[in-house]
């Protein structure tokens, strides 16, 4: 039976491996996508997700995450949550609630604590040093956010035909207290419908949310476009539109997977991503914007 998973950035390789094991063994799309994202969140080497994520300008790691079940359309999300090891698991817990399913700041952190989620100081010594150095460097300059682009976004399809999607990020380094990006926002950071497919985003949240790009890709797949065509025909026209009408555009990359296990991606910068399906071994790919609003994809590692 068909199964598949795709995730943003090469940092997701280990998570893709974990998710693949679950999906091969008839595990659920929900469990697989949570496991994938948790694997990235737990790795202190990744500076933009979970433990080891770089802090805001006040030296606090504030994370955004979301979870969506493509069968029921249930969604849960957290934003500016602090001191929790797995923000994605808090989002999944919230997806079981009809009311109060998207919580921010202290309310989100309190919910995680009361739900028995693992709490920890997310600011590693390495991230603290990097923050202090940045503060020092910019002492006499205007603080500027790093134009980061490293959210983990993932989509899974299980052998029962169910799909799920999830995201997790610590957002922009040196962001303002309480700044929230696209990652927890339904339709922007992620969207999935098991009868069609799913999409997830990474890049500059402030620009991604101007286009509701994940929803738009799923909508185009529902009209019959392949995941690659849906990504190309959503991302590149939007990038042109934003350049023309807003005057500038940040980094934007989208991944998609449909219910047949076919995948696609589009990006306006060099971008790595990971894939595994019942038809193809785990691989890390690199994508670049090509000519005529197409995407050039090459293999980085099998």
Min dist. Cβ of residue 203 to ligand GLY (A):
6
Min dist. Cβ of residue 207 to ligand GLY (A):
9
Cα four-point dihedral sign 176, 95, 192, 273: positive
Backbone φ and ψ for 261, nearest 5 degrees, come out as 85, 10
The CA distance from 272 to 267, in Å, is 10
Nearer to ligand GLY, 76 or 171 (CB): 171
Nearer to ligand GLY, 63 or 218 (CB): 63
Stretch that binds ligand GLY, among 128-136, 156-164, 196-204, 230-238 (CB under 6 A): 196-204
Out of 183, 234, 258, 268, the residue judged to bind ligand GLY by CB under 6 A: 183
Nearest to 250 by CA among 145, 147, 173, 150: 147
Min dist. Cβ of residue 72 to ligand GLY (A):
25
Q: What does the radius of gyration of the chain's CA atoms come to, in whole angstroms?
A: 18
CB-based contact 173:132 (threshold 8 Å): no
Out of 151, 228, 258, 295, the residue judged to bind ligand GLY by CB under 6 A: 151
Please tell me the chain's helix, strand, coil percentages from 3-state DSSP, rounded to the nearest 5.
Answer: 30, 25, 40
Dump strand ranges (E) for 142-189. 152-157, 163-169
Q: Tokens 């949550």 appear where? A: 81
Q: Does 203 bind ligand GLY (CB under 6 A)?
A: yes
- Pseudo-torsion of CA 32, 33, 38, 39, nearest 10°? 70
Backbone φ and ψ for 38, nearest 5 degrees, come out as -60, -35
For 77-104, b/e burial (b = at least 16 CB within 10 A) is bbbbbbbbbbbbbbbbbbbeeeeebbbb
Min dist. Cβ of residue 9 to ligand GLY (A):
11
Nearer to ligand GLY, 181 or 264 (CB): 181
Q: Does 204 bind ligand GLY (CB under 6 A)?
A: yes
Q: Output the six-digit token pair for 243.
A: 């350049």
Q: Does 205 bind ligand GLY (CB under 6 A)?
A: yes
Min dist. Cβ of residue 100 to ligand GLY (A):
23
Per-residue contact track with ligand GLY, 152 to 181, x per CB under 6 A? -----------------x-xx--------x
Residue nearest to ligand GLY (CB): 181
Backbone φ and ψ for 260, nearest 5 degrees, come out as -90, 0
Nearer to ligand GLY, 8 or 83 (CB): 8
Q: Does 182 bind ligand GLY (CB under 6 A)?
A: yes
Catalytic residues: 151
Which residues from 79-138 bind ligand GLY, rule CB under 6 A? none
Min dist. Cβ of residue 205 to ligand GLY (A):
3
Nearer to ligand GLY, 84 or 172 (CB): 172
Catalog residues that contact ligand GLY under the rule CB under 6 A. Answer: 151, 169, 171-172, 181-183, 202-205
């Amino acid at each position: 039976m068909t199964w598949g998973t795709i995730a943003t950035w090469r940092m997701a390789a280990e998570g893709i491996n974990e998710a693949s094991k679950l999906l091969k063994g008839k595990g659920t799309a929900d469990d697989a996508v949570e496991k994938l994202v948790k694997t990235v969140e737990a790795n202190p080497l990744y500076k933009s997700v979970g433990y080891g994520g770089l802090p805001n300008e006040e030296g606090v790691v504030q994370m955004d995450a979301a979870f969506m079940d493509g069968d029921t359309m249930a969604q849960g999300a957290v934003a500016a949550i602090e001191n929790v090891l797995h923000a994605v698991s808090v989002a999944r817990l919230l997806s079981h609630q009809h009311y109060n399913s998207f919580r921010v700041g202290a309310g989100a952190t309190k919910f995680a604590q009361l739900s028995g989620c693992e709490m920890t100081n997310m600011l590693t010594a390495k991230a603290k040093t990097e923050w202090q150095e940045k503060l020092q460097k910019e002492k006499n300059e205007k603080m500027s956010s790093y134009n980061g682009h490293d959210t983990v976004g993932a989509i899974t399809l299980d052998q029962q035909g169910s799909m799920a999607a999830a995201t997790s990020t610590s957002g922009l380094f040196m962001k303002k207290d309480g700044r929230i990006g696209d990652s927890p926002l339904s339709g922007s950071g992620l969207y999935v419908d098991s009868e069609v497919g799913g999409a997830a985003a990474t890049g500059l949240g402030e620009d991604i949310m101007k286009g509701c790009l994940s929803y738009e890709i799923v909508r185009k797949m529902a009209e019959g476009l392949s995941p690659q065509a849906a990504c190309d025909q959503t991302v590149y026209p939007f990038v042109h539109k934003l350049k023309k009408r807003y005057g500038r555009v940040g980094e934007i990359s989208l991944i998609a997977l449909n219910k047949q296990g076919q995948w696609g991606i589009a990006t306006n910068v060099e971008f790595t991503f990971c894939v595994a399906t019942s038809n193809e071994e785990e691989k890390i790919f690199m994508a670049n914007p090509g000519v005529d609003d197409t995407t050039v994809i090459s293999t980085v590692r099998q």
